[in-house]
Amino acid sequence: MAAHSRGHICHCLGRIEAVRRDSPVAISGLRRRTGGELVKGVRSLARGLADSGVARGDVVAVAALNSDRYMELFLAISYVGGIVAPLNHRWSFEEARMAMELVKPKMLAVDDYCSPWAVELQTSDNLSSIKLYLLIGESSSSFNCNHSSLRINLIQRLAKPMPINDPICAPEDIALICFTSGTTGKPKGVKISHTALIVQSLAKIAIVGYGEDDVYLHTAPLCHIGGITSCMAMLLAGGCHVFIPKFDAKLTFEEIKNHQVTSFITVPAMMADLISFVRKSNMWSDGETVRKILNGGGGLSEELTKCASHLFPHAKILSAYGMTEACSSLTFMTLFDPMFKKFGVSFHDKINVEADSRHHHLGGVCVGKPPPHIELKICGSSDICCTSFVGNILTRGLHVMVGYWDSTDVIMAESAENGWLDTGDIGWLDGIGDLWLVGREKGCIKTGGENVYPEEVEAVLSQHPGVFRVVVVGVPDIRFTEKVVACLNIKEGWKWVDHRSKCSLKAKEVSPEILQDHCRQSNLSRFKIPKIYSFWRRPFPLTTTGKLKRDDIRKEVMSSMQPRSNL
């Protein structure tokens, strides 16, 4: 079906050609490309892909680090009606193989970093669907495959000179298969439509404020929904893209300085790395040009927000809450705005004052308001839907996924006609439309007949000045069903003691008794206060996409609690 009857992400090419025909739109290492060059490259690559046999509805898996060639390929695949399936470059080969067996791609595109996967796939019996291999980049690397292998620059040169037709939409309007990062089991492929990508991009343009004068640094990988939708937002806005292969604090500051970067996105771990790098290197951050920072993948703590506002004094810092199945962000909240700072008012203090005056007894963390195109509602087991009621967070709108690839799982909380998607999160809406996130439904701890959401307890414990990071889990208990356990990383300069010492009130010490007092003083309900505290000397385990492996931590805690044999 021709794209003129629907939205299509490649419609952004007309604007790029209009506003950036002769000015840089993509900078990747030493390569600089104008808007006119990028548009010409996308169209010639689309023509080459079509000549090579990529047709409407075909899946093309892409495994590569960030680059302008990756973005160009993404658009070209979409142009011919193909479906992009980005693979995480941090996966093991086994994880990548499982993802490809799920979506059965016709083509696999890799760069030098991921090219070993293409060689290993020759021994796989379950991936006969791959007919073509494509090398992203211009190195001398070779696949040595029995299958047909191509290079982007080669098929662009050999493409037929005849003009390609208008952009084509794949069946069901699907543009993208984005893989979820479950901590166990096989990955799920989330089908994202062109329409969802467009409305999500427009929301970011409206709320974050992206525009054609922006210079956007790609700190997030293009295999993640956050990185993809921010890239699309900048394409629609007509801004300039600066690519680094993958996030690195030193390289990030170098690119900010070299190209006067105005915007980028982070997750809390990235922001912590940026702050740590500046502290250890004792250097000036060169963050004066940055005007917009969007954080996702978990809320920024008050300490990280304050440090970030010093590193990037002119930047508006926002946080987004969302999920892959909702095409990234469901809500946005401003954490710091330099406009408030100019008037001597801290935006963070303003948020805290408002939070204290509302229904704070319901708990949770405020994650802001949804953009105009997103509907949210709260439902519980009694099917009551109202404000100030804790229950399942549901969402509806054009942003919701088409479904899971090759799956008949029921994903909607209500009928397909009503179209509500259950996020799997628990929360509540206050009287002014802010969403408060309490925790994950699956992570809920059942103790003494009460529900405890780890995120709420973690938020309280994280406010103690000696706690660097905390993870709360539930372990089996005969009396209470589950017992609440807190696992803690302690900040540098602080000491962990098993029991309160005589000088602990003066010294920088952290103990179970001190933390229990802190929870009580923070008005945490008695049944939510952890009974056990475990000191962790190493970082907590994460998935390849940076999500916490809470089940692994829980298993390790349970193992350490087992009585040791004397044999």
* 286 in Cβ contact with 316 (< 8 Å): no
Residues 436 and 453 reside in one and the same domain: no
Assign residue 97 a region: left if phi > 0, alpha if psi is -120 to 50, beta otherwise? alpha
In a domain, 549, yes or no: yes
Residues 383 and 462 reside in one and the same domain: no
| Cα–Cα dist 305/283, whole Å | 19
Residues 402 and 460 reside in one and the same domain: no
Task: Give the alpha-carbon dihedral of 117, 123, 128, 132, to 10 degrees.
Answer: 40
Q: Which residues does 122 contact at the CB level (< 8 Å), separation at least 6? A: 145, 146, 147
| Cα–Cα dist 6/194, whole Å | 8
In a domain, 412, yes or no: yes
- Residue 309 three-state SS: helix
* Strand partners of residue 315: none
In a domain, 464, yes or no: yes
Residues 435 and 497 reside in one and the same domain: no
Is residue 258 packed enough to be buried (19+ CB in 10 Å), middle (13-18) or exposed (0-12)?
A: exposed
Which CATH number is 413's domain given?
2.30.38.10
Which CATH number is 483's domain given?
3.30.300.30
Per DSSP, 427 falls in state E
Can you give the pTM of this predicted structure?
0.82
In a domain, 204, yes or no: no
How many residues does the structure list for the chain? 567
Residues 436 and 449 reside in one and the same domain: no
Which of 377, 409, 441 lies at the terminal end of a domain, its last residue? 441
Residues 432 and 452 reside in one and the same domain: no
Q: What is the pLDDT of residue 289?
A: 96
Residues 406 and 543 reside in one and the same domain: no
| Cα–Cα dist 244/8, whole Å | 27
Mean pLDDT by 10 residues, the chain (567 residues): 67 94 96 96 93 94 96 97 94 87 94 88 77 79 58 72 81 94 68 97 96 97 95 97 96 96 92 90 80 89 88 95 94 91 39 44 82 90 55 93 76 55 90 88 79 86 92 84 91 82 64 93 87 91 76 87 51
* Strand partners of residue 535: 488
Is residue 246 packed enough to be buried (19+ CB in 10 Å), middle (13-18) or exposed (0-12)?
A: middle
Which of 441, 476, 493 lies at the terminal end of a domain, its last residue? 441
Q: What is the pLDDT of residue 414?
A: 43
Residues 437 and 449 reside in one and the same domain: no
Which CATH number is 89's domain given?
3.40.50.980
Structure tokens at 142: 């070779």
Residues 57 and 164 reside in one and the same domain: yes
| Cα–Cα dist 266/278, whole Å | 16
> How far from 9 is each of 14, 68, 212, 529, CA to CA, in Å?
11, 16, 17, 49
Residues 553 and 432 reside in one and the same domain: no
Which of 140, 163, 193 lies at the terminal end of a domain, its last residue? 193
> How far from 304 is each of 175, 266, 275, CA to CA, in Å?
35, 12, 8
Q: How many domains does the chain have?
A: 3
User: Of 262, 272, 367, which is closest to residue 315 (Cα–Cα)?
Assistant: 262
* 332 in Cβ contact with 372 (< 8 Å): no
- Phi/psi at 307 (nearest 5 deg)? -65, -40
Q: What is the pLDDT of residue 547?
A: 73
Residues 31 and 126 reside in one and the same domain: yes
Domain range for 496 is: 445-558
Residues 391 and 474 reside in one and the same domain: no
